[in-house]
């Protein structure tokens, strides 16, 4: 299907602005996304640190921030979620690594639409600025949570921060939608149209499949979020009543009538559920890639992995109601949604079995990327298995909106997906910067983070069972929460240690860019196309020599082969894969 | 490194599982008629998922150690997969997950598909920033009209929910800040909200339902033991969300009647 | 920081400047691996069209979301002020149908003129290699200004929509008057915003002509814009039908 037509490749740019600021090169743009995400994750982590500290010491006056009032705490909750979900988990895996690596892995000189690519990054950046600005306007950042349920999010008088701060929040999200749609357009067109000769769809690395399917999810989901946001802006500012029925705030009758708070939830979660798959699918792709490379074995069940990715993507659009079991939605709909939700556990399980199958009778090399890939599998299992509890409406009755829910989604999004980003960083850093990251620092970072994140999020399950509700700024007012405070203390201490340990990663990242050991073109002895080209890759990725692909992506330890890996463009015996 | 992975993964698995089994932090005791069935479904899910958890993490740790590169010429099993295995474990997973779901469905149906039975105790729960109010319809069994313009949160009770006393049906309505219920009788609950979404959560009753503005949601549950049970708001509703709590006092039928009569008389 | 893009001479790569003497068209479709300097316009057109199809998907999703919100809201019962009963507050909007029909005709005609413009430049692009052979003359390139006419008609549609909004206001239906009126403004407004985007695309296409870009490249711009324009017409018919038939 690919036309194999060369992209209209721009000549290598000159000048700082064209090379590093408004670059059209997907590699530069990928790094721009990555560093935006890196900035965002440290802001997001800092917010979560403030949150955890406040929960344990509600009266504390902290440096830089002062004393934290309930509305401040809720503003941190809201901004932490928004920054992490959008500007970290939807930015680094897809915009960052996807942009950098996808064209190279399919043998293309760049993305299909380089100008659009540049615009999509800068639009994302504008969205980021708009979001952060909410902290600095009068009233501060909004307090309605990253999920922004109406009417709380739709009424300017419903709380501090619900004025201009909330308008900036929804505007930032709308801008982010447009930026993501532009990116999705590029990913899909590039994957369909720019594959090199011989790069059949079923020879694409699983990372490419993951980015491709993620882009399709984004293409279908972000338009709906945009529609939800437009309706919210209209309700907030122009007096419409899409979401707001007749309500009275602080004794004042608001001018709205007849709207439905559930409409916001339906529109938001129709986007919101695919969004969490957007956050995790690239990490799954990276895990498959890294496990195979360092196990020196083909990925177990490549086709099943592809179909599982598709299955997760498709089913991901049919389960949004499981966020709404307690919302007042029809219980019959709840039943239907819960069946679909249990069904989506099946392709996820298939992937886990296949990862285990890849390790079975392998020859594992424990470089840092591999540690993170193995960590991903462990965390995905842990986080995934709390899903079947929440997926059953009858069990959701005691568990909905308790700490059990953030335990579930943090293990998957807040840790496993992040491990996917770490694995990708350690894995592709040599190709991007021509140097190796430090292995010892990588190991220390891995161990502290693995144990630390388990120490933070495993106990949250217990807190949820005991009935601790979400988004409480302190636990002093509800009597049955008092004896949960010691466990909360433990979590806070674990968080302080784990967050601090991320500085090791930051140091390793920047130090290695200048002082890391020089990397060869293929330090991991991997098979995919990015390892066939120079380190770092030239402007057009392949120095004028478009690769021709003869093999599948994971031909490791092929019996009879001269060495334990066959690169995809190896001209020797074309294999059956 | 493989050994370290095995030990750490197994240790984390053991520690997590231990605290679940030991019930160090667990559900509060369930004092509603539905609690036993809900808790049972939870236990079944928990055991099955627990087994999967231990097996999967165990295998991961074991493989990480067992199949480490020992530097010898030990051959790697070159394999692109096994269709039979894929089919088997897909089918087993599907049966497990869907089966679990279907097993719990009758409980959901009993809780939510059917309305309260005749003869149950009617109570209307209204959530607002940041308090719960409870309304009893009185002898006429009908809730009187409320008027948004009459809502005055600072005056509490009747004024907080905007009770419109010009409506005859409202004259015998009792509004309180504490929920009294007679034991062993089903409660016919109507949930309302005045400003934003709140959620009426009583852990001891295994009961939770969002209170949504613009809707009057009918629910039911049956308390089966006398006692005081705390209510916590379970949907982010603003800066006072953490302190929006209340109390359900379940008392004997006699005590309940006396209490209600006293409140009627005080009007 | 390590160099991100070391300078590499790209002798073998296409630079996209198709000016000057161009050899006769090849019979094969794509794949310029040999570096003869001619960009593969056929491949680029296919890629641009693929990009357009992909880009139309989220626009469709936006209107699918608006439509479901519309249907949902239309049937939605809400608790009355006394808190006793559920009522439905959907009020039928008095749409200025005649005016909207005029606008619809303008848009449909603009689709026709757009299609003529697209075919016109397709012919010109096909003839371009012939035209550059010395000694051949096939007459003047200037044809009827279909593209500019489309822009005029498109702007006419938007002006007409503005008048329709004014008329709605005169009839007492503003954005926040009722849920049904909110949706009228929402759906027509969202369509208009996307149409304005189309007009910018048309103006860009016109600009590429004034800037003397190669006709094959201009053809791609006009072609993609044309399909987008047709889609906007279809979308308008859908919106109009929804607002009239599902009142």
Digit-coded pLDDT (tens) for B42-67: 999 999 999 999 999 999 999 999 99
CB A50 within 8 A of CB A78: no
The dihedral through the CA atoms of A123, A126, A131, A132 has a sign that is: positive
CA distance C99 to A517: 72
What is the H or E stretch that residue A252 is in?
strand A252-253
- Name the token pair of A91: 């930015």
Peptide bond into C163 cis (omega under 30): no
> Length of chain A, please?
577
CB A206 within 8 A of CB A285: yes
In C, minimum Cα distance to A429 occurs at C2
Question: Per-residue DSSP letters for B189-257?
Answer: EEEEESSS-EEEEEGGGTEEEEE-TT--EEEEE-B-S-EEEEEEE-S--STTGGG-EEEEEEE-HHHHH
> Do A364 and B42 count as a contact with CB atoms less than 8 A apart?
no
Which among A264, A370, A394, A551 is the top mutation candidate for probing chain B, defined by the most B β-carbons within 10 Å of its own β-carbon?
Answer: A394
What's the CATH fold of domain A25-574?
Cytochrome C Oxidase; Chain A (1.20.210)
Tell which CATH classification among 3.20.20.70, 3.40.718.10, 3.40.50.720, 2.60.40.420 matches the domain B121-266.
Answer: 2.60.40.420
Residues sharing a CB contact under 8 Å with residue A224, sequence separation 6 or more, in sequence order: A267, A270, A271, C61, C62, C64, C65
Question: Per-residue DSSP letters for chain C?
Answer: ---SS-----TTS------S--PPPPSS-S---S--S---HHHHHHHHHHHHHHHHHHHHHHHHHHHHHHHHHHT--EE-TTSSSEE---------HHHHHHHHHHHHHHHHHHHHHHHHHHHHHHHHHHHTSTT----------HHHHHHHHHHHHHHHHHHHHHHHHHTT--TTT-HHHHHHHHHHHHHHHHHHHHHHHHHHHHHHHHTT--HHHHHHHHHHHHHHHHHHHHHHHHHHHHHHHT-
Average pLDDT over residues B249-265: 95
- Name the token pair of C164: 């329709």
Quote the percentage of chain B above a pLDDT of 70: 100
Q: Name which of B93, B18, B51, B4 is nearest A375 in CA terms.
A: B4
* Residue A443: Cβ-neighbour burial (10 angstroms; 0-12, 13-18, 19+): middle
Which among B26, B70, B79, B161 is the top mutation candidate for probing chain A, defined by the most A β-carbons within 10 Å of its own β-carbon?
Answer: B79
The bridge status of strand B187-193 relative to strand B121-128 is parallel
CA distance A234 to C185: 11
Q: Subunits with at least 3 CB pairs below 8 A relative to chain A?
A: B, C
CA distance B42 to A395: 6
Q: Which chain B residues are closer than 8 Å to C83 by Cβ?
A: 143, 145-146, 192, 216
CB A239 within 8 A of CB A293: no
For residues B220, B221, B227 and B228, what is the CA-based torsion angle, rounded to 10 degrees?
Answer: -50
- Give the residue ranges of DSSP H helices in A83-113: 99-105
* Residues B65, B69, B75: CA angle, nearest 5 degrees: 110
Model pLDDT, residue A15:
84
CA distance B145 to B20: 48
Q: Name which of A474, A459, A55 is nearest B26 in CA terms.
A: A459
Place of tokens 């340990």: A501
Q: What are phi and psi of B23, to 5 degrees?
A: 55, 40
Q: Name which of B262, B231, B180, C137 is nearest A481 in CA terms.
A: B231
C8 touches chain A (CB under 8 A): yes
Question: Per-residue DSSP letters for A538-562?
Answer: PTTSSTT------S-TT-BS-TT-S
CA distance C220 to C125: 9
> Do B145 and C82 count as a contact with CB atoms less than 8 A apart?
yes
Domain extent listing, chain C: 41-134+142-245
What are the residue ranges in chain C where pLDDT is below 50? 1-35
CA distance A537 to C5: 8
Q: Does domain C41-134+142-245 have CATH number 2.70.150.10?
A: no
Residue B249's DSSP bridge partners are B180, B228
Model pLDDT, residue A238:
95
CB A287 within 8 A of CB A102: no
- Name the token pair of A248: 């009275």
In A, minimum Cα distance to B240 occurs at A70
CB atoms within 10 A of CB C109: 16
Model pLDDT, residue A575:
55
Q: What are phi and psi of B201, to 5 degrees?
A: -125, 120
In C, minimum Cα distance to B213 occurs at C79
* Cα maximum dimension of chain C: 88
> Do A239 and C175 count as a contact with CB atoms less than 8 A apart?
yes
C190 touches chain A (CB under 8 A): yes
CA distance B121 to B223: 11
> Do B148 and A371 count as a contact with CB atoms less than 8 A apart?
no
Which among C77, C81, C83 is the top mutation candidate for probing chain B, defined by the most B β-carbons within 10 Å of its own β-carbon?
Answer: C83
CB A151 within 8 A of CB A243: yes
Backbone dihedral region for residue A330 (phi beyond 0: left; psi -120 to 50: alpha; all else: beta): beta
CB C146 within 8 A of CB C116: yes
Residues sharing a CB contact under 8 Å with residue A499, sequence separation 6 or more, in sequence order: A45, A48, A49
Question: Per-residue DSSP letters for A303-343?
Answer: HHHHHHHHHHHHHTTS-GGGG-TTTT--HHHHHHHHHHHHH
> Do B214 and C78 count as a contact with CB atoms less than 8 A apart?
yes
Which among B96, B221, B235, B247 is the top mutation candidate for probing chain A, defined by the most A β-carbons within 10 Å of its own β-carbon?
Answer: B235
The bridge status of strand B245-251 relative to strand B179-182 is parallel
CA distance A254 to C142: 61
In A, minimum Cα distance to B83 occurs at A301
Please tell me what DSSP assigns to residue B176: E
What is the end-to-end Cα distance of chain B in Å, rounded? Answer: 75
> Length of chain C, please?
247
CA distance A263 to C69: 7
CB C103 within 8 A of CB C157: yes
Residues 201-230 of B with CB under 8 A from A: 201, 203, 206-210, 212-215, 217, 230
* Cα maximum dimension of chain B: 92
Which of B164, B167, B214 is nearest residue C79 as measured by Cβ atoms? Answer: B214
In B, minimum Cα distance to A250 occurs at B153
From first to last of its 577 residues, chain A has per-residue pLDDT tens of: 454 445 555 667 778 888 889 999 999 999 999 999 999 999 999 999 999 999 999 998 888 788 999 999 999 999 999 999 999 999 999 999 999 999 999 999 999 999 999 999 999 999 999 999 999 999 999 999 999 999 999 999 998 989 999 999 999 999 999 999 999 999 999 999 999 999 999 999 999 999 999 999 999 999 999 999 999 999 999 999 999 999 999 889 999 999 999 999 999 999 999 999 999 999 999 999 999 999 999 999 999 999 999 999 999 999 999 999 999 999 999 999 999 999 999 999 999 999 999 999 999 999 999 999 999 999 999 999 999 999 999 999 999 999 999 999 999 998 999 999 999 999 999 999 999 999 999 999 999 999 999 999 999 999 999 999 999 999 999 999 999 999 999 999 999 999 999 999 999 999 999 999 999 999 999 999 999 999 999 999 999 889 999 999 999 999 988 888 999 999 876 555 5
The dihedral through the CA atoms of B47, B48, B49, B53 has a sign that is: positive
Model pLDDT, residue B6:
95
CB B89 within 8 A of CB B13: no
- Name the token pair of A298: 């083909």
CA distance B190 to B192: 7
CA distance C71 to C82: 26
The C-alpha of A542 sits at a distance from chain B's nearest C-alpha, in angstroms, of 29
CA distance A146 to B248: 31
* Residues A556, A282, A495: CA angle, nearest 5 degrees: 110
- 0.90 surpassed by complex ipTM: yes
């Amino acid at each position: 299907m690919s036309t194999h037509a060369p992209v209209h490749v721009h000549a290598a740019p000159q000048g700082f602005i064209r090379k590093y600021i408004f670059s059209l090169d997907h590699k530069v743009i990928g790094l721009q996304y990555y560093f935006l995400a890196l900035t965002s994750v440290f802001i997001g982590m800092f917010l979560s640190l403030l949150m955890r500290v406040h929960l344990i010491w509600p009266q504390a006056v902290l440096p830089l921030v002062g004393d934290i009032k309930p509305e401040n705490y809720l503003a941190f909750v809201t901004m932490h979620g928004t920054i992490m979900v959008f500007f970290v988990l939807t930015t680094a895996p897809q915009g960052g690594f996807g942009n950098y690596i996808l064209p190279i892995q399919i043998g293309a000189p760049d993305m299909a639409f380089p100008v659009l690519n540049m615009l999509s990054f800068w639009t994302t950046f504008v969205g980021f600025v708009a979001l952060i600005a909410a902290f600095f306007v009068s009233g501060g950042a909004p307090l309605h949570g990253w999920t922004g349920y109406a009417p709380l999010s739709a009424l300017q008088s419903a709380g501090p921060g619900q004025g201009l701060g909330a308008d900036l929040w929804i505007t930032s999200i709308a801008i982010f939608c447009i930026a993501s749609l532009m990116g999705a357009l590029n990913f899909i067109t590039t994957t369909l149209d720019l594959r090199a000769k011989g790069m059949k769809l079923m020879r694409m690395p699983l990372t490419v499949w993951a980015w491709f399917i993620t882009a399709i999810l984004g293409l279908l989901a972000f338009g709906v979020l945009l529609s939800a946001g437009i309706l919210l802006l209209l309700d907030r500012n122009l007096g419409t009543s899409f979401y707001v029925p007749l309500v009275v705030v602080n004794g004042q009758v608001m001018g709205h009538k007849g709207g439905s708070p559930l409409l916001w939830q339906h529109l938001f979660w129709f986007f919101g559920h695919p969004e969490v798959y957007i956050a995790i699918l690239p990490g799954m792709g990276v895990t498959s890639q890294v496990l195979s490379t360092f196990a020196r074995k083909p990925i177990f069940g490549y086709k099943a992995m592809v179909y599982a990715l598709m299955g997760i993507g498709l089913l991901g659009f049919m389960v949004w109601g499981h966020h709404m079991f307690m919302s007042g939605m029809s219980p019959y709909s709840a039943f239907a949604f819960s069946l679909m939700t249990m069904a989506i556990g099946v392709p996820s399980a298939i992937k886990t079995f296949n990862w285990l199958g890849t390790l079975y009778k392998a020859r594992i090399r424990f470089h840092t990327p591999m540690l993170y890939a193995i960590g991903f599998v462990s965390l995905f299992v842990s986080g995934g298995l709390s899903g079947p509890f929440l997926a059953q409406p009858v069990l959701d009755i005691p568990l909905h909106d308790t700490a059990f829910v953030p335990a579930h989604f943090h293990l998957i999004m807040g840790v496993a997906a992040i491990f996917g980003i770490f694995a990708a960083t350690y894995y592709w850093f040599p190709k991007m910067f021509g140097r190796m990251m430090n292995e010892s620092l990588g190991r220390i970072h891995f161990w502290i983070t693995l144990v630390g994140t388990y120490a933070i999020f495993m106990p949250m399950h217990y807190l949820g069972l005991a009935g601790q509700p979400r988004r409480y700024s302190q636990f002093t007012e509800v009597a049955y929460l008092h004896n949960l405070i010691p466990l909360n203390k433990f979590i806070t201490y674990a968080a302080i240690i784990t967050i601090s340990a991320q500085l090791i990663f930051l140091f390793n990242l920047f130090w290695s860019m200048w002082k890391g050991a020089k990397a060869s073109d293929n330090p991991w002895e991997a098979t995919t196309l990015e390892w066939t080209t120079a380190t770092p890759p030239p402007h057009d990725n392949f120095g004028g020599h478009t690769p021709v692909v003869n093999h599948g992506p994971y031909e490791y330890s092929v019996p009879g082969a001269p060495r334990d890996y066959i690169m995809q463009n190896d001209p020797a015996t074309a294999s059956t894969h | 490194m493989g050994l370290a992975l095995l030990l750490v993964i197994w240790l984390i698995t053991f520690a997590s599982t231990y605290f679940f089994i030991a019930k160090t932090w667990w559900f509060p005791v369930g004092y509603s008629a539905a609690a036993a069935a809900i808790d049972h479904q939870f236990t079944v899910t928990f055991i099955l998922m627990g087994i999967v958890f231990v097996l999967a993490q165990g295998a991961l740790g074991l493989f990480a150690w067992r199949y480490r590169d020992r530097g010898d010429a030990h051959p790697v099993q070159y394999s692109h997969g096994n269709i039979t295995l894929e089919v088997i474990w897909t089918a087993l997973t599907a049966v497990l997950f869907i089966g679990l779901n279907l097993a719990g469905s009758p409980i959901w149906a009993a809780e939510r598909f059917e309305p309260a039975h005749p003869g149950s105790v009617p109570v209307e729960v209204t959530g607002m920033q940041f308090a719960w109010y409870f309304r009893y319809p009185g002898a006429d069994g009908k809730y009187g009209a409320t008027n948004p313009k009459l809502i005055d949160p600072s005056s509490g009770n009747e004024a907080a929910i905007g009770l419109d006393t010009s409506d005859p049906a409202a004259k015998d309505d009792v509004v309180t800040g504490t929920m009294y219920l007679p034991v062993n009788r089903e409660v016919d609950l109507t949930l309302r909200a005045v400003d934003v979404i709140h959620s009426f959560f009583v852990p001891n009753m295994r009961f939770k339902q969002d209170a949504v503005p613009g809707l009057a949601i009918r629910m039911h549950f049956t308390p089966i033991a006398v006692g005081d049970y705390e209510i916590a708001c379970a949907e982010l509703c603003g800066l006072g969300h953490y302190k929006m709590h209340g109390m359900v006092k379940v008392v004997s039928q006699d005590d309940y009647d006396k209490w209600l009569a006293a409140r009627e008389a005080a009007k | 920081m390590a160099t991100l893009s070391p300078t590499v001479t790209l002798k073998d790569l296409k630079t996209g400047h198709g000016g000057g003497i161009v050899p006769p068209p090849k019979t094969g479709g794509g794949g310029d691996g040999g570096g003869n300097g001619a960009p593969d316009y056929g491949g680029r057109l296919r890629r641009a069209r693929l990009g357009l199809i992909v880009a139309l998907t989220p626009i469709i999703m936006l209107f699918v979301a608006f439509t479901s919100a519309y249907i949902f809201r239309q049937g939605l019962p809400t608790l009355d002020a006394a808190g006793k009963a559920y009522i439905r507050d959907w009020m039928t909007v008095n749409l200025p149908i005649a005016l909207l029909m005029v606008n619809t005709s303008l848009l449909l005609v603009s689709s026709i003129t757009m299609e003529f413009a697209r075919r016109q430049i397709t012919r010109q692009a096909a003839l371009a290699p012939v035209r550059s052979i010395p000694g051949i003359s096939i007459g003047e390139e200037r044809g009827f200004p279909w593209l500019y006419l489309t822009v005029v008609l498109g702007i006419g549609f938007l002006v007409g929509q503005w008048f329709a909004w004014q008329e709605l206001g005169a009839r007492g239906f503003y954005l926040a008057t009722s849920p049904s009126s909110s949706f009228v403004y929402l759906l027509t407004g969202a369509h208009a915003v996307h149409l304005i985007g189309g007009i910018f695309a048309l103006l860009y296409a016109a600009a590429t002509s004034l800037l003397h870009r190669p006709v094959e490249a201009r053809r791609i711009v006009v072609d993609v814009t044309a399909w987008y324009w047709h889609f906007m017409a279809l979308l308008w018919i859908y919106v109009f039908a929804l607002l009239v038939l599902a009142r």
